[in-house]
Structure 1
Amino acid sequence: MASLWGTRRVAGRKSQFRAVKSMQAGPDLSIPTHFRCPISLELMRDPVTLPTGITYDRQSIETWLDMGNGTCPVTNRTVAPGQDQLVPNHALRRMIQDWCVAHREYGVERIPTPRIPATAAQVVEMLSEVAAAARRGDGARCREVVSRIRTLGKESERNRRCVASNGAAAVLSAAFGAFARDSNGARSADAKEEILAAVTGMFPLGEEACAHLGTPDSLRSIVWIAKCGGLAGRLNAVLVVKELVHTDRPIVDAVAGIDGMAEALVKLIREPISPQATKASLVAVFYLVSSDEKTASRFVDMGLVPLILEILVESDKSMTEKALGVLDGVCSSKKGRQQAYGHALTMPVLVKKIFRVSEVATEFSVSTLWKLCKNYGSEGEAEAEGERPGCLVEALQVGAFQKLLLLLQVGCGEATKEKASELLKLLNVSRGRLECIDSADFKALKRPF
Structure 2
Amino acid sequence: MISTWRRRRAGRRAAKERLQQMAETGEMELTIPNHFRCPISLDLMKDPVTLSTGITYDRQSIETWIEAGNITCPITNQVLRSVEPIPNHTIRKMIQDWCVQNKSYGIERIPTPRIPVSSMEVSEILGKITTAAKREDSDECKDLVAKIKNLAKESERNKRCIVSNGAASALSAAFEGFSIAGFDKNGVVLEEILSVLTLIFPLVDVEAKSSLGSAASLHCLVWFFESGDLSGRRNAVLVLKEIVSSDKQKLEAFAAIEGALAALFKLIREPICPTATKASLTVVYHMVESTGSSSSPSNEKIVEKFVEMGLVSLLLEVLVDCERSICEKALGVLNGICSAEIGREKAYAHALTMPVLVKKILRVSNLATEFSVSILWKLCKNETREEGTALVEALRVGAFQKLLLLLQVGCVERIKEKITDLLKLLNRYHRSTLECIDSVDFKELKRPF
**TMscore range, shorter length:** 0.7 to 0.9
Match of 1:76 in 2: 77
Match of 1:121 in 2: 120
Cα distance in 2 for residues equivalent to 1:375 and 1:73? 66
CA spacing shift, 1:437–1:94, aligned 2, 3 Å:
closer
Structure 1 segment 280-291 matched on structure 2, within 5 A: 280-291=279-290
Cα distance in 2 for residues equivalent to 1:439 and 1:227? 43
> RMSD of the TM alignment (CA)?
2.0
Match of 2:326 in 1: 319
Residue 73 of structure 2 aligns with an amino acid whose one-letter code is C
Residue 177 of structure 1 aligns with an amino acid whose one-letter code is E
Match of 1:421 in 2: 420
Match of 2:200 in 1: 202
Cα distance in 2 for residues equivalent to 1:65 and 1:224? 44
**Greater Cα offset, 430-439 or 197-206:** 430-439
Q: Aligned residues: percent identity?
A: 56
Residue 40 of structure 2 aligns with an amino acid whose one-letter code is I
Matched-pair contact (CA < 8 Å) for 1:39–1:56: yes
Structure 1 segment 108-187 matched on structure 2, within 5 A: 108-182=107-181, 184-187=182-185
Cα distance in 1 for residues equivalent to 2:81 and 2:411? 51
Match of 1:296 in 2: 303
CA spacing shift, 1:439–1:42, aligned 2, 3 Å:
closer
Matched-pair contact (CA < 8 Å) for 1:347–1:398: yes
Matched-pair contact (CA < 8 Å) for 1:293–1:332: no
Residue 348 of structure 2 aligns with an amino acid whose one-letter code is Y
Matched-pair contact (CA < 8 Å) for 1:35–1:44: yes
Provide, for residues 196-220 of structure 1, a one-character-per-residue CA deviation record: whole Å limited to 9, x for no partner.
1111111111211111011111011
Cα distance in 1 for residues equivalent to 2:103 and 2:132? 49
Provide, for residues 391-447 of structure 1, a one-character-per-residue CA deviation record: whole Å limited to 9, x for no partner.
11101111111100000000011111111111111212333542435899x9xxxxx
Count of aligned residue pairs for this structure pair: 411
Cα distance in 1 for residues equivalent to 2:82 and 2:426? 64
Matched-pair contact (CA < 8 Å) for 1:289–1:299: no
Provide, for residues 154-198 of structure 1, a one-character-per-residue CA deviation record: whole Å limited to 9, x for no partner.
10101000000011001100100001111x321100100000111
Provide, for residues 283-316 of structure 1, a one-character-per-residue CA deviation record: whole Å limited to 9, x for no partner.
1111111143332222112110000000111111
**TM-score of the pair, normalised by structure 2:** 0.88
Residue 119 of structure 1 aligns with an amino acid whose one-letter code is S
Cα distance in 2 for residues equivalent to 1:296 and 1:283? 15
**Greater Cα offset, 72-81 or 202-211:** 72-81
Q: Secondary structure at the residue paired with 1:181?
A: helix
Structure 1 segment 334-353 matched on structure 2, within 5 A: 334-353=341-360
CA spacing shift, 1:186–1:398, aligned 2, 3 Å:
same
Q: Does 1:382 align with 2:381?
A: no
Q: Does 1:361 align with 2:368?
A: yes
Q: Which runs of 5+ in 2 are unaligned?
A: 1-15, 291-298, 443-449
**Greater Cα offset, 189-198 or 239-248:** 239-248
Q: Which runs of 5+ in 1 are unaligned?
A: 1-17, 384-388, 443-449
CA spacing shift, 1:153–1:434, aligned 2, 3 Å:
same
Q: Does 1:218 align with 2:217?
A: yes
Cα distance in 2 for residues equivalent to 1:211 and 1:253? 15
Match of 1:268 in 2: 267
Among candidates 182, 191, 194, match of residue 193 of structure 1: 191
Matched-pair contact (CA < 8 Å) for 2:32–2:44: yes
Provide, for residues 19-70 of structure 1, a one-character-per-residue CA deviation record: whole Å limited to 9, x for no partner.
xx77948724211000000000000000000001110000000001111111
**Greater Cα offset, 63-72 or 255-264:** 255-264
Matched-pair contact (CA < 8 Å) for 2:52–2:81: no
CA spacing shift, 1:438–1:268, aligned 2, 3 Å:
closer
Q: CA deviation at 1:80?
A: 4.3
Q: Does 1:66 align with 2:67?
A: yes
Deviating 4+ runs (over 3 angstroms):
21-26, 435-440
Q: Secondary structure at the residue paired with 2:430?
A: helix
Match of 2:408 in 1: 409
Provide, for residues 224-246 of structure 1, a one-character-per-residue CA deviation record: whole Å limited to 9, x for no partner.
11221121111100101111222
Q: Does 1:103 align with 2:110?
A: no
Matched-pair contact (CA < 8 Å) for 1:325–1:364: yes
Cα distance in 2 for residues equivalent to 1:81 and 1:437? 70
Cα distance in 2 for residues equivalent to 1:261 and 1:55? 55
Cα distance in 1 for residues equivalent to 2:358 and 2:133? 53
Cα distance in 2 for residues equivalent to 1:114 and 1:247? 40
**TM-score of the pair, normalised by structure 1:** 0.88
Cα distance in 1 for residues equivalent to 2:174 and 2:437? 65
Q: CA deviation at 1:150?
A: 0.6
Provide, for residues 335-362 of structure 1, a one-character-per-residue CA deviation record: whole Å limited to 9, x for no partner.
1111101100000000000011111111
**Greater Cα offset, 317-326 or 209-218:** 317-326
CA spacing shift, 1:439–1:52, aligned 2, 3 Å:
closer
